[in-house]
Chain A
Amino acid sequence: MSTTNKYHLDYLDQLESEAIHILREVAGQFERPALLFSGGKDSITLVYLALKAFRPGKFPFPLVHIDTGHNFPEALDFRDQLAASIGEKLIVRKVEDTIKARHLTEPTGKFASRNALQTYTLLDTIEEFGFDACIGGARRDEEKARAKERIFSVRDEFGGWDPKRQRPELWNTYNGKIRKGENVRAFPISNWTELDIWNYIRREKIDLPSIYFSHEREVIGYEGQWVAVSPFIRLDPSDQVETRRVRYRTVGDMTCTAAVESGASVIDDIIREITATRTSERGETRIDDKVSEAAMEDRKKNGYF
């Protein structure tokens, strides 16, 4: 009995080991990988896992941020500090520049989101640096199209995902062979849930941007959600700006991420709230997913992460 206990791995250890294995497979199989970093908790966790996978060596990939220009300033500061503190290379490419260079049309409306335009900047960045694999922090529990995607997801030269032609993916053997023009999106934390991420952050004492914790913010109410007042959203006369204690459950653009009302200022409180909540992460905080049942599937087919 003692021997089985001695060699027992907790579920978080198993998930961690799986993620490290995937990160090292990317490093071993590709010439020019990159880690897509947004400043959100999932990509921060990825960076932390990469430290475990490659220290005392350097990362075999740069961190790449596709900056929509609509990010939370707290997340951007955190991004810069983290990259500096671990001494790894950070590449930032701005959606703003792509819009100008390619004469793209900005979406309009109350919450005009550049979420879809990110894909253009991402594909340009992939081409600029010749990236053959991009590591991302997508999780399968987030959304039903993501639930179907392989860990190594082969994308065509338009970045497109073809859900009907996915390669079989057996055991822990990831086939990263690609033809010219194709690239791979690799998802090391595919099998983690939102709660797993929070429990891991708590266990490993990982630092997060302050907006994940309770703070006062000027918001407007919109269809039952709280949206931060920022230069990127249109305020209408009917909007009532009020100050509330909120925190963010996910961190995306200020235009498409909603806050939740919360007094949770430490991780234990956040985990308690998430455990008790009856709404999913994307449902509670993402304005962009509500458009249609297949919103994510369509975006992925068009090259989105």
Chain B
Amino acid sequence: MDLLRFITAGSVDDGKSTLIGRLLYDSKSILADQLEALEKQSRNKEDGEIDLALLTDGLRAEREQGITIDVAYKYFSTPKRKFIIADAPGHIQYTRNMITGASNANLIIILVDARNGVVEQTRRHSIIASLLNIPHVVVAINKMDLVDYSEDVYNNIAIDYAETARTLQLRDVVYLPISALKGDNIVDRSDKLAWYEGPTLLELLEQTEVEKDVNLTHGRLPVQYVIRPQTEELHDYRGYAGKIVSGVYRKGDAVTVLPAGLTSRIKSIETGGREVEEAFAPQSAILQLEDDIDISRGDLIVTNEHPPRVDQELEVLLCWMDTKPLIPGNKYLLQQGSRVVRAVVKEIAYQLDVNTLEKNTSPGQIGLNDIVKVTIRTATPLPFDSYSSLQANGGAILVDETSYVTVGACMIQ
């Protein structure tokens, strides 16, 4: 059994929470006591239907306002897969929370209200999917019950969205008609959508192949911690512990430690307390090297084929996530993998309009949720890959030096 992480995105009343509730409900992942609590709270009791949306809003403020403010994680599994759902807010002011949920997703479900078609929010969520490089996109055209399950309505929206997908170069886009409220085409097929021959949403979630999305060619292991038992029998043991974010490491492989550029060979590999011949992404491992070289937390051990770039000047697409504005010239901490370096945001090349994709080269103040292309200079060299080619080693966060709050998400170009 493998694992799929997905995020749901949609505008305020697109039925996002209802969709998740429906998935959990129809896949029998809601237990009796949870259902009982739900029935108690259901606001629209007069029509006798359970308000499935209430399953996902976890904070008092969210229940009071009937909106999602922060990401909630939900879990369910079928015999084929374990699923982790990031139920993320759709409001523009909570975009940073959506990005939190989207950053790890294998797949995004973009909900479109069949009555409204592709709207500004749809484009914004799609741009975020594209920026974060989410490999698989499912466009779920919802509320088909309110447009008489019309194939024409569905087709027109799909054609319209395909244009957006093309502009954004989304790689794998699948469309399907659903009604989350009525349960059409979520877990069970629907007679009312007989003209639709593709898989149901759950089938899609079960079938989407995600294993191929793991990079197994570019060896990258950020050293998190150095294990030194310093006991008599393990006197010389120095284990470099970290998670392999991409690639495969084999005993005997030539490796380079960056940014210093020191080279050695792998003497031994351990995973889960056992010595192994090879280890691969996304395993956590411990490497021992042949040579006694200076390695500490923050270093990156790479295999010698396909080395990353090492530079102090980075071109970055930056999503600003702080309520205080971004001030060019300000210094921040840049955290990438296990490495933290001081960094200065030098200049802003342009601001990306998240609704139209237009590039504004003379933007005003950059505030919360704005996306800008910037040049960042780091105090020491940073080994990195471009986010679009190797996500695992191309993303970084900016941290405010005084408040220590995470203020920016960097997609290195």
Contacts and interface: CB of A to CB of B under 8 A. Distances in A.
Interface of A: 3-4, 7-11, 13-18, 20-21, 24-25, 27-28, 51-58, 60, 140-141, 144-145, 147-148, 150, 163-164, 166-173, 175, 177-179, 190-191, 193, 195-196, 277-280, 283-284, 293-294, 297
Interface in B236-290: 237, 239, 241-243, 245, 248, 272-273, 280-284
A168 B99 contact: yes
Q: How large is the interface on B (under 10, 10 to 19, 20 to 34, 35 or more residues)?
A: 35 or more
B404 A175 contact: yes
A172 B405 CA distance: 16
Contact of B248 (A7, A9, A51): A7
Nearest to A196: B82
Given A11-B3, A293-B41, A171 B243 contact: no
B60 interface: yes
B404 A177 contact: yes
A267 B224 CA distance: 34
A8 B227 CA distance: 27
Contacts of A283: 31, 33-34
Contact of A177 (B58, B228, B333): B333
Contacts of A168: 96-97, 99-100, 321, 397, 406, 409
Contact of A17 (B60, B73, B283): B283
A297 B70 CA distance: 14
B271 to A, nearest CB: 8
Interface in B351-366: none
B58 A14 contact: no
Interface of chain A: mostly helix, strand, loop or mixed:
loop
B70 A163 contact: yes
Q: What are the nearest 8 A-B pairs in CB distance?
A: A283-B33, A144-B58, A177-B404, A20-B284, A24-B224, A57-B227, A170-B103, A278-B32
A28 B224 contact: yes
A3, A16, A147: most-surrounded residue (chain B CB, <10 A)? A147
B224 A25 contact: yes
Given A17-B284, A283-B33, A293-B63, A173 B1 contact: no
Interface stretch (B10-18, B146-154, B181-189, B208-216): B208-216
B74 A147 contact: yes
Given A11-B1, A21-B243, A175-B335, A27 B225 contact: yes
Contact of A173 (B41, B84, B229, B396): B396
Contacts, number: 177
Contacts of A293: 37, 41, 60, 63
B32 A57 contact: no
A280 B38 CA distance: 13
A18, A172, A178: most-surrounded residue (chain B CB, <10 A)? A172
Interface in B327-359: 333, 335-338
A240 to B, nearest CB: 24
A9 B283 contact: yes
Contacts of A297: 58-60
A279 B283 CA distance: 34
Contacts of A148: 58-59, 70-73
Contacts of B216: 3, 7
Given A17-B284, A144-B58, A279-B32, A173 B72 contact: no
A274 to B, nearest CB: 11
Contacts of A173: 335-337, 395-397
Given A54-B241, A279-B31, A293-B63, 7 more contacts: A25-B224, A53-B241, A60-B225, A144-B57, A147-B73, A167-B406, A193-B77
B61 interface: yes
A60 B97 CA distance: 32
A180 B33 CA distance: 42
Given A10-B1, A148-B58, A57 B239 contact: yes
Contact of B284 (A24, A163, A195): A24
Interface in B76-99: 77, 81-82, 84, 96-97, 99
A21 B58 contact: no
A9 B282 contact: yes
A125 B94 CA distance: 36
A190 B73 contact: yes
B2 interface: yes
A17 B282 contact: yes
A284 B60 CA distance: 23
Nearest to B410: A170
Nearest to A60: B225
A255 to B, nearest CB: 20
A140 B76 CA distance: 12
Contact of A175 (B242, B272, B397): B397
A173 B104 CA distance: 11
A157 B224 CA distance: 27
B56 to A, nearest CB: 8
Nearest to B84: A191
Contact of B273 (A52, A60, A178): A52
A8 B224 CA distance: 23
